[in-house]
Amino acid sequence: MRKIISLICFLLPILAFVAEHEAFAAEPENPSDILMDVRSDAPDRHIVVKGDTLWDISGKFFKDPWKWPHIWGLNKDLIKDPHWIYPGDVIFLDRSSGTLRIGENGTAATGGIGGMEAASSVTEAGNIVRLSPRVRENPSSHDAIPSIPANAIAPFLSRPLIIEANELKTAPTLIGAREGRVILGNDDTAFTKGLPSDKGDKWLVYRTGKTFVDPDTDEVLGIEAIYLGDAEVTHFADISTVAITRAVEEIHAGDHLILPSVDEVNTYLPRAPESKISARIISVYGGVSQGGQNSVITLNKGRRDGLEIGHVLALYQKGEVVKYEGKQYTLPDERYGLVFVFRVFDKVSYALVMQTKLPVQLLDRANTP
């Protein structure tokens, strides 16, 4: 009896591993379509190095690197936190299925449970798979490569970006400084009204910018928040005292404070929206009229329209009107790039330009690819 119990205890982790592995993998809906997406110059393997992203690695092998569930054989409903690829891993292209896998010396890694990795071998007779537990050392998730360039969007995750009109009425406001200072910078002291004492002592300083208006409906979508710096409360009172710990622009009386966000950089799984989205570019961050790769753009669609963090949209430039033999013709809209939605508000969203072959311009469309 003792031997039987020991055997059961030994087999349980292995059976759990097999069950999880089967649930983890997802067959592409149409394998022939995935095989057609393999780049003609795709390598057989890639060794992951620091600075790689999941998007970049997929793009080395496939024409559409955002098709994560098919490319990696993953179920997007199960995988929410892709902390699973690290520098030093070897990525192999399985040309028979049109998917990527992580392996070593030409064999695919099988994953692990609770620090144990199952090593597998297949006998020549009977196709019997023999599994045995093996200790696996898991690196910290902080060492895992991100989905997209983390440094390109990290500053935008803690900043307010969009302010609703009703938020301005209750936002803490700077009303002055010591010695009658008009312009505040690093290490200056300022005084603030309306600062709650139960929200912490770390705040962001911002100034209201332009009002976003939907170019199609004229609806007011929100007010842009221009980030000015960081402030730390040194004394709470009816008129609170704050120290400017970082200033990236001049800070004046009348500027506002807002709490930083706590969004993470590394937990994005790119995917196409499940519904048809047609958005317009209403701003290129930095106040310019054109953008390029790694530019941050603002879209006139948000959470209420079905956009979610991680959605990938295709960029389209409106076809030009040309004259030929006395008649006018409208050329077809041209698809020229991809954007990745990384922050979503109710009525607007922010996206990172991942690929583009033309300048990204205001009022260009971003549609479900």
CATH code, domain with 307: 2.40.10.410
Average pLDDT along the chain? 79
Say if residues 161 and 349 touch (Cβ distance below 8 Å).
Answer: no
142 falls in which pLDDT band (50, 70, 90)? Answer: low
**pLDDT top residue among 330 and 11:** 330
**Residue 285 located in a structural domain:** yes
What average pLDDT does this structure show over 85-100? 85
pTM over 0.85: no
Q: Give the range among 57-71, 102-116, 195-209, 230-244 with minimum mean pLDDT.
A: 102-116
What residue numbers bound the domain in which 246 lies? 158-258
**DSSP 3-state assignment of 3?**
helix
Pair 130, 163 in one domain = no
Asked whether residue 117 carries a pLDDT value surpassing 50, the answer given is: no
Of 97, 121, 145, the residue that ends a domain is 145
What average pLDDT does this structure show over 139-151? 72
153 falls in which pLDDT band (50, 70, 90)? Answer: confident
pLDDT of residue 343: 92
pLDDT of residue 303: 94
Pair 241, 299 in one domain = no
Asked whether residue 351 carries a pLDDT value surpassing 80, the answer given is: yes
Of 145, 175, 191, the residue that ends a domain is 145
What average pLDDT does this structure show over 28-42? 65
Cβ within 8 Å of residue 90, ≥6 positions away: 45, 46, 47, 48, 102, 103, 104
**Residue 152 located in a structural domain:** no
Pair 21, 87 in one domain = yes
Q: Is 172 exposed, middle or buried (0-12, 13-18, 19+ CB in 10 A)?
A: buried
CA atoms within 13 A on the CB side of 162: 21
**Residue 39 located in a structural domain:** yes
Of 228, 258, 288, the residue that ends a domain is 258
pLDDT of residue 214: 95
**pLDDT top residue among 12 and 210:** 210
Q: Which of 136, 133, 105 is nearest to 119 (CA)?
A: 133
What b/e sequence results for 184-203 when a residue is b if at least 16 CB atoms lie within 10 Å of its CB, and e otherwise?
Answer: beeebbbbbeebeeeeeeeb
Cβ within 8 Å of residue 176, ≥6 positions away: 190, 191, 253
pLDDT of residue 264: 53
CA distance 78 to 73: 12
**Residue 151 located in a structural domain:** no
196 falls in which pLDDT band (50, 70, 90)? Answer: very high
Question: How many domains, the chain?
Answer: 3
Say if residues 74 and 68 touch (Cβ distance below 8 Å).
Answer: yes
Q: Give the range among 237-251, 255-269, 280-294, 327-341 with minimum mean pLDDT.
A: 255-269
Pair 34, 137 in one domain = yes
